[in-house]
Chain A
Amino acid sequence: MTEEQAQSQTQQTASTDAPEIANPFLLGRKVGMLQHFRPDGTVVGATIISAEPNVVTFVRTRERDGYTAVQIGYGAIAERRMTRPALGHLKGLSPLRELREIRLDDVSGFERGQQIGVGRFAAGDKVHITGVSKGKGFQGPVHLHHFKTGPKTHGSDHYKRQGSVGAGTTPGRVLKGMRMARKMGVDRVTVKNLEILRSDADRGVLIVKGAIPGARNAIVLVRKA
């Protein structure tokens, strides 16, 4: 399918669709990466995100909750995998794997059960993508903070170690926030201003330029920039 066709699909709006807003959002799943040939023949790395239509599961209002937000759900899951309270929350809707709240100043028009699909995004749009980065385990200061390494040879025992962590008697302690070894990764990461290369509503697939956080099958939130 060409990019124009993808664009025309964003025009279709079914009756159950959530209202159009300036900065649509969508939960999806990272599928993997491919090369993408642009019409002018240049090649770019592209990430494929699969997103079946998201369902509005709850609307938070100022009167009831003190703030306004829309809760959306994504991902089919077997009913037996759900807990009873979770099923009760989704009564009348199909079971969903992932729920996420998006803070919005104006939630008028949003109602439980409405859908949001990839059609909200068109080729050429810029998006922010938020996900959880891959875990790297317990990492030393060199990998984690890009500290300089010590000498490799001449009897050095200081190759991947950290240097001094502070002065002596004054202050007599290690300052808080000193960068040291720790567990790395599994952080919430947002990559901004990625270009949508293609939006395929038939298959529920978005193709974005560049890499996005997380492993394959990770849940990511796509928001229009």
Chain B
Amino acid sequence: MNNRDILASIAAEQVKTGLPDVRPGDTVRVAVRVVEGNRERTQSFEGTIMRVRNGGLDRQITVRRISNGVGVERTFLMHSPRVEKIEIVRRGHARRAALYFLRERVGKAATLREKRKTT
């Protein structure tokens, strides 16, 4: 086996299947396992995907939301066992891959048009 095959086969064992096809602009709800002291619970984080970094096993999404008037951005490794579920709430229309312009916007200006259904 060459190097690429070995790495691919090891990565394949850690990769999750059935992850949704997420794109920048989509609104998602991410269920994350958090450890508090010795207890574990699931927390959900809902917001707009600002960026998707593709990299097979390292695939990650940056999700932005406004929480108590403060913008919060969290990055999730999609294949991490701590990320239990990723649910698409809404498909947003985005013309670029990284939506950093959302940082300068507040309120309604920070929302994206909903994607039109493709036939």
Contacts and interface: CB of A to CB of B under 8 A. Distances in A.
Interface of A: 1, 31-32, 34-37, 39-41, 43, 48, 50, 203, 205, 207, 216-217
A35 B13 CA distance: 12
B80 A216 contact: no
A174 to B, nearest CB: 46
B93 to A, nearest CB: 32
B7 A41 contact: no
A35 B57 contact: yes
Contact of A205 (B6, B35, B57, B58): B6
B9 interface: yes
- Pairs A-B, 5 closest by C-beta atoms: A41-B82, A31-B3, A41-B81, A31-B6, A32-B7
Contacts, number: 41
Interface of B: 1, 3, 6-7, 9-11, 13-14, 33, 35, 57-58, 77, 79-82
A14 B117 CA distance: 61
A37 B59 CA distance: 13
A31 B77 CA distance: 23
Contacts of A31: 3, 6-7
B80 A43 contact: yes
Given A31-B3, A203-B1, 10 more contacts: A35-B57, A37-B14, A37-B80, A40-B35, A41-B81, A41-B82, A203-B9, A205-B6, A207-B10, A217-B3
A43 B7 CA distance: 17
A187 to B, nearest CB: 24
B82 A36 contact: no
Nearest to B11: A34
Contacts of A1: 13
A216 B6 CA distance: 13
